[in-house]
Amino acid sequence: MADDQCTYSLGCYGNSDVQTPNIDQLAKEGLVFDRHYNTSAICMASRASVFTGMYEYKTGCNFDHGDMHPEVWDRSYPKFLRKSGYLTAFAGKFGFEVEGEGLCESDFDFWGGSPGQTSYQTAANKSMQKYAEIYPHSTLSYGEFGRDVIRESVQRDKPFCLSISFKAPHRPVEPDPRFNSIYEGSTFTKPANFGREHGVHLSQQSKAGRQYERFTSWNYDTDYDGVMAKYNQLIYAIDVAVGMIRTELEAQGIAENTVIFYTSDNGYICGSHGYGSKVLPMEESSRVPLIIYDPRSKTAGKQERCGELTGNIDFAPSILDLAGIPIPENMDGQSLTKLLKNPNKGGHEQLAFMNVWGPGATTSLSCLTRQYKYTYWWYGDDSIEPAEELFDLKNDPLELINQVNNPEYVSVRNTMREKYDQELAKWNKEAVEYNNYTRYGTLFDRTIPLEKKDLKK
């Protein structure tokens, strides 16, 4: 799992300006998902959902909100797998802490994890120091950690579950200098929705956070090629690490019996609509790469793609399913293994997307279906009115036209409002009562007037 990697940063997702040969090869051999979303597009909350298969309002875990509670962690995929006899391994950015247990190091047989944002300096990541001499930059150190886990598991003749959470390409911009030549002097094609002129139709609320000013303060407007060269260089090293791991699986003779997932914890807006960074519900930040390679599946080697709706809440149930462990009912996600057999049948009818981090104005709830995305921006003040966005992603994948006031979309809008209300009802019913989640049941309610909402963050 990468950190802050946008979908359009890989050859297998249509970018011909980048070099990602190992991930592209994985895509060729596996199944590529074209509509995979992180239901919260921010590091901490997304990782909590990945581990537990639940929406953020049930993990109760995000920056500004609080740590995960131990009873939530107890139902995470590493805990279930270890109980079932798997060796468990984790390296990189864990992303959250569990109350009273910290990083849960003792739940893993192999530990290369680190607190907080971790460091690109391998020597600064305590659990990874033994790799620092050969791999002073952390990205390749995680590849080497992976190789060690694979070797050791084979020696012990035990099944294993290895989770690597790369720091790359998250800021600070510190790529491994050994790859400085890869994109030297390169130019990169801007996305077709790049720039402020493609953001005028987006809500005022979405412009109230730091994502809007970062279009200029992070130089997407003035130095797009320079910024993207460094970003893509960070991803290039992940690609090399993926190659290291796959080579070791082959060398140990277990490549035909090992399933690989490749994804990112959230997407990244690199100047689309005149924004930068993540968090917001737009495609660039909420949608991420997902490749699953199961050498035993029917789709393996057929270069197929999956256009069904999937989410980060699906990882835990999928991993349990692959291991033959029953999926607990508290999980919101579903196993993706059926899609590995038939990529045209399955996935979600609808998914929620949420942001409850950052300034109150930028908090919002969205409902996604196979074709549409509806967002309710509840916030208002002297200059901003509550707003709705409706995008027809099938006919407008770049989100260039907000259809919410288009008479031709009245019936779609009404249906999407209903589906949104269903997602909100789930929130009201199931949100944890701690860490400040229940108040959003009122804030996100379309039918409660603004003056009855508590605007204080």
- Burial status of residue 288 (CB atoms within 10 A of its CB: 0-12, 13-18, 19 or more): buried
Cα–Cα dist 385/17, whole Å: 41
Could you tell me the smallest distance in angstroms from the CB atom of residue 44 to Ca ion?
Answer: 8
Q: State yes or no: residue 284 binds Ca ion (CB under 5 A).
A: no
For 186, the token pair is 């390169």
Contact between 90 and 76 (Cβ < 8 Å)? no
**Tally of CB atoms within 10 A around 120:** 22
**SS3 for 157?**
coil
* β 269-270/110-114 pair status: unpaired
Could you tell me the smallest distance in angstroms from the CB atom of residue 288 to Ca ion?
Answer: 10
Q: Give the one residue of 2, 3, 8, 443 binding Ca ion; rule: CB under 5 A.
A: 3
Could you tell me the smallest distance in angstroms from the CB atom of residue 63 to Ca ion?
Answer: 11
Q: State yes or no: residue 299 binds Ca ion (CB under 5 A).
A: no
Residue 116 vs 177, nearer CB to Ca ion: 116
Residue 38 vs 334, nearer CB to Ca ion: 38
Residue 43 vs 229, nearer CB to Ca ion: 43
Amino acid at 257: N
Q: Site for Ca ion (CB under 5 A): how many residues?
A: 5
The residues near 311 (Cβ < 8 Å, ≥ 6 apart) are 36, 37, 38, 39, 333, 348, 351
* β 305-306/310-311 pair status: unpaired
Residue 3 vs 56, nearer CB to Ca ion: 3
Residue 4 vs 144, nearer CB to Ca ion: 4
Contact between 42 and 62 (Cβ < 8 Å)? yes
4 phi, psi to nearest 5 deg: 75, 40
Could you tell me the smallest distance in angstroms from the CB atom of residue 241 to Ca ion?
Answer: 17
Could you tell me the smallest distance in angstroms from the CB atom of residue 321 to Ca ion?
Answer: 26
Could you tell me the smallest distance in angstroms from the CB atom of residue 187 to Ca ion?
Answer: 26
Q: How many residues does the chain have?
A: 457
Cα–Cα dist 313/357, whole Å: 19
Among the residue ranges 129-137, 229-237, 258-266, 394-402, the one whose residues contact Ca ion (CB under 5 A): 258-266
Could you tell me the smallest distance in angstroms from the CB atom of residue 269 to Ca ion?
Answer: 12
Residue 3 vs 144, nearer CB to Ca ion: 3
Residue 238 vs 306, nearer CB to Ca ion: 238
Cα–Cα dist 48/67, whole Å: 10
**SS3 for 316?**
helix
Amino acid at 162: L
Q: What angle do CA 24, 25, 29 make, to 5 degrees?
A: 115
Nearest-CB residue for Ca ion: 43
Residue 43 vs 416, nearer CB to Ca ion: 43
Could you tell me the smallest distance in angstroms from the CB atom of residue 271 to Ca ion?
Answer: 18
Residue 47 vs 58, nearer CB to Ca ion: 47
Could you tell me the smallest distance in angstroms from the CB atom of residue 46 to Ca ion?
Answer: 7
Cα–Cα dist 223/356, whole Å: 31
Residue 153 vs 266, nearer CB to Ca ion: 266
DSSP per-residue string spanning 343-401: TTS-S-SEEEEEE-SSSGGG-EEEEEESSEEEEEE----SS---EEEEEETTT-TT---
Could you tell me the smallest distance in angstroms from the CB atom of residue 230 to Ca ion?
Answer: 17
Could you tell me the smallest distance in angstroms from the CB atom of residue 3 to Ca ion?
Answer: 4
Residue 4 vs 109, nearer CB to Ca ion: 4
Q: What would the x/- binding string for Ca ion be over residues 29 to 68, using CB under 5 A? A: --------------x-------------------------
Cα–Cα dist 60/54, whole Å: 10
Among the residue ranges 7-15, 110-118, 257-265, 448-456, the one whose residues contact Ca ion (CB under 5 A): 257-265
- Under rule CB under 5 A, which residues in 260-279 are in contact with Ca ion? 265-266
Q: State yes or no: residue 4 binds Ca ion (CB under 5 A).
A: yes
Could you tell me the smallest distance in angstroms from the CB atom of residue 59 to Ca ion?
Answer: 16
Q: What would the x/- binding string for Ca ion be over residues 369 to 408, using CB under 5 A? A: ----------------------------------------
Q: What would the x/- binding string for Ca ion be over residues 126 to 165, using CB under 5 A? A: ----------------------------------------
Residue 141 vs 266, nearer CB to Ca ion: 266
Nearest to 215 by CA among 120, 119, 280: 280
Within 13 Å, how many C-alpha atoms sit on residue 397's CB side?
9
Chain contacts with Ca ion (rule: CB under 5 A) = 3-4, 43, 265-266
